[in-house]
Amino acid sequence: MARIARLPDIVANKISAGEVVQRPASVVKELLENSIDAGATKIIVAIKDAGKELIRIVDNGAGMAREDAVLCVERFATSKIIGVDDLNSLRTLGFRGEALASISSVSHFELKTRTPNDKIGLKLRYEGGVLAEESGVQGEQGTGITVRNLFYNVPARRKFLKSNATEFQHIFEVVKSFALAYPDIEWCMYSDDEELFNFRTPEMAERLNVFYGSEFASSLIELSEENDYLSIRGFLGKPAMQKRRKLDQYFFINRRLVQNRMLSQAVQQAYGELLIERQTPFALLFLEIDPSRVDVNVHPSKLEIRFDDERSVRNMFYPVLKRTIQLYDFSPDLSSSESELLRSMPVQESAFRKLSYQDIPERSITTGELYANYRPSLLKESPVPGFSASRQGEMFPLHQEAGSASAERALPQGDEGLSSLLLSCIPDDAVLPNPKEAEPKIWQLHNKYLVCQIKTGMMIIDQHVAHERVLYERAVEVMNQNVPNSQQLLFPQKVEFRPWEYEVFEEIREDLNRLGFNLRLFGSKTIMIEGVPQDVKSGSEVTILQDMIAEYQDNASRLKLEKRDNLAKSYSCRNAIMAGQKLSLDEMRSLIDNLFATREPYSCPHGRPVIIKLSLDQLDRMFGRK
């Protein structure tokens, strides 16, 4: 007697449902894909008990004749493809022919449909995949599918569903993604008979503001690029809109929602140091590519895809993102609408949450341009190209690289630029004082922040993170170019490492030498510091090295950083001037100048903001003048 037997269709469908229908959100996704493929211009989604009791999707698409309606719930029955070659030119969202069969087998399933040519519609009702009723029904053109008591006959699967809040969140994310991907479709959603949204117009801004809050759309960066191989369009969020989750990153390939690690990593890398650690930027991106270059038949959920040449896609995708991001000024601007709430906000609330970033196309009024005519005098020539060798320069090294992004902020010679700049807010017809007698309007607040008067209002700089940015970029350049950067000590300093510290030291020893640390072994776990980078303050050599190793180890355990990048961040963090350190006017001017000579003056290497701008208009509103 044969031991192998063909499984009955009802059993096979229940097994298949385990892959296709993982939770209520899976049902919603499959049904919405069918509605879109049917050419619907209006779709209504209604759920109860987070989809466990009821899921209903109603559309005004083409509808189905009886022959198609009866066949659509059969396994491997589909109108989307005929042969395997069709997979190479697939433009529809569905194609596998498994979804309706799987869903009907684990629920009380009802289908109502009518084509434009039919005077009366058709109703089919299934229980556990078995046809229980067929009848005529009145109704509008299109298809309505109702799924009740999902997994009622698979108690093990129903038992493992999450809380209503969790399941609802998954459903809402699915509907939201389709509503954003198809603005040409009217979308309406109900949960437990409460209307959540009703989009009647194709305005993308309206949908984004409903999903993410008022004025959200206006704070996005829009991008669009097209060539013969790939077209990219969509929106990117600014650094202040960072999230600790990736649910707010949407990638659509030929308008199909997909998950792709390469695309996510490319977005993350394009933002680089503008991001705070372990946070991700908002992204809503649409890619159009020849369907033959994409394999969508990777998993029954149809979320995973593969490119035939992933490297080529990345080489086109990443530069577009990077160039778009670089065109904007990311210095935070204190929003006037939120400033009205400052009096009611708790004192302990993070100030970073109160920041919104203002678009300034083509950097037309960037802070760097405001300081374009300022450069401190007394900068002496240095054996290291692009850096000041004076003792003042040891504290604030000048970083200026020809041909790089910092060339936009290249600073001409002259020692009167800052005074002239800070006085530029005075009307043209006013009587100007002698520039040589005018002091630049710059103050140090609580030995922590630098406050500057600029043309449009005021600018506040965090002195610690500003110096961090300066030191970080210098450290990266010194290590990459392998230029001399060591200052010999008159009296070498001895450092005794603990075992784990010595292991880290051995790992980064070569790059420490490149950075400017001249170190000599002096025993099994002891070294002598004979030279240090010129930025290291006298007397702190041992502490700085030990702190750098501790910081490096901490970063390595929490983050995945390239070794030199980790070392540069550790070095800049531990060696930067601290909050509470008093600076002279010359030191403040030097710090500001060197900050705006860096490639990314608006954020520190860890992603925190360096600069906040507050306009006169915002100040006027805060004081009730407008």
Where in the sequence of the chain do the CATH 3.30.230.10 domains occur?
210-326
Q: Is the pLDDT of residue 236 over 60?
A: yes
- pLDDT tens digits, one per residue of 365-391: 344 444 443 333 333 333 333 333 333
Share above pLDDT 70 across residues of the chain, in percent, rounded to a whole number:
72
Mean pLDDT in residue range 481-492: 85
Class of domain 9-202: alpha beta
Distance CA 189, CA 254 (A): 24
- pLDDT tens digits, one per residue of 55-87: 999 999 999 999 989 988 887 667 655 556 555
- pLDDT tens digits, one per residue of 93-134: 765 667 888 899 899 999 999 999 998 999 999 998 899 999
Distance CA 250, CA 403 (A): 34
Distance CA 26, CA 28 (A): 5
Q: Is the pLDDT of residue 44 over 90?
A: yes
Q: CB pairs under 8 A, 24+ apart, for 542-545?
A: 542/493, 542/494, 542/495, 544/574, 544/575, 545/495, 545/517
DSSP 431: -
Sheet containing strand 332-334, edge to edge, reads 355-357, 332-334, 611-615, 457-462, 449-454, 442-445
Query: Which comes out higher in pLDDT, residue 483 or 354?
Result: 483
Select from 459, 458, 464, 469 the least CA-distant residue to 274: 469
- b/e map of 289-315 (b: 16 or more CB within 10 Å)? bebebbebbeebebeebebeeeeebbe
Query: Token pair for residue 176?
Result: 């939201």
The CA angle 309-315-319, to the nearest 5 degrees, is 155
What's the farthest any 2 CA atoms get from each other in the chain?
109
pLDDT of residue 180: 94
Query: Which comes out higher in pLDDT, residue 277 or 475?
Result: 475
pLDDT tier at 190, thresholds 50, 70, 90: very high
pLDDT of residue 547: 84
Supply the pTM of this predicted model: 0.56
Distance CA 574, CA 551 (A): 8
Which of these ranges, 259-263, 292-296, 408-412, has the smallest mean pLDDT?
A: 408-412
Query: Token pair for residue 567?
Result: 């070392």
Q: Is the pLDDT of residue 308 over 90?
A: no
Q: Is the pLDDT of residue 203 over 50?
A: yes
Distance CA 340, CA 337 (A): 6
- pLDDT tens digits, one per residue of 419-461: 444 444 444 444 444 544 445 578 999 989 999 888 888 899 9
Cβ pair 296, 302 in contact under 8 A: yes
Q: Is the pLDDT of residue 265 over 70?
A: yes
Share above pLDDT 90 across residues of the chain, in percent, rounded to a whole number:
29
Q: Which amino acid is at 409?
A: R
Mean pLDDT in residue range 562-575: 85
Distance CA 304, CA 135 (A): 39
pLDDT of residue 421: 43
DSSP 535: T
Which of these ranges, 151-155, 272-276, 413-417, 543-547, has the smallest mean pLDDT?
A: 413-417
The CA angle 494-498-504, to the nearest 5 degrees, is 95
The CA dihedral of 53, 58, 63, 66, to the nearest 10 degrees, is 30
pLDDT of residue 376: 38
Where in the sequence of the chain do the CATH 3.30.565.10 domains occur?
9-202
Mean pLDDT in residue range 219-224: 89
Select from 146, 71, 161, 61 the least CA-distant residue to 111: 146
Structural domain 210-326, CATH architecture: 2-Layer Sandwich (3.30)
Q: Which ranges constitute the DSSP H helices of 280-332?
A: 310-326
Q: Is the pLDDT of residue 353 over 60?
A: no
- b/e map of 151-174 (b: 16 or more CB within 10 Å)? bebbeebeeebeeeeebbebbbbb
pLDDT of residue 365: 34
Query: Which comes out higher in pLDDT, residue 173 or 438?
Result: 173
Distance CA 67, CA 185 (A): 27
Distance CA 352, CA 363 (A): 22
Select from 268, 224, 233 the least CA-distant residue to 561: 268
Element (H, E) at 548: helix 541-558
> For strand 249-253 and strand 283-289, is the pairing parallel, antiparallel, or unpaired?
parallel
Q: Estimate the crossing angle of helix 261-271 against helix 310-326, to 10 degrees.
A: 30
Query: Token pair for residue 69?
Result: 């309606």
Query: Token pair for residue 217?
Result: 């759309």
Which of these ranges, 181-190, 332-341, 509-518, has the smallest mean pLDDT?
A: 332-341
Query: Token pair for residue 77?
Result: 């029955």
The Cβ of residue 613 has, within 10 Å, a number of other Cβ atoms equal to: 20
Query: Which comes out higher in pLDDT, residue 484 or 338?
Result: 484
Element (H, E) at 555: helix 541-558
pLDDT of residue 560: 65
For all residues of the chain together, what is the average pLDDT? 77
Cβ pair 574, 605 in contact under 8 A: no
Q: Is the pLDDT of residue 411 over 70?
A: no
| Sign for the pseudo-dihedral over CA of 569, 570, 573, 577 | negative
Provide the residue count of the chain.
626
Using alpha carbons, list the distances in angstroms from residue 108 to 95, 332, 363, 446.
23, 54, 59, 68
Query: Token pair for residue 418?
Result: 């800052």
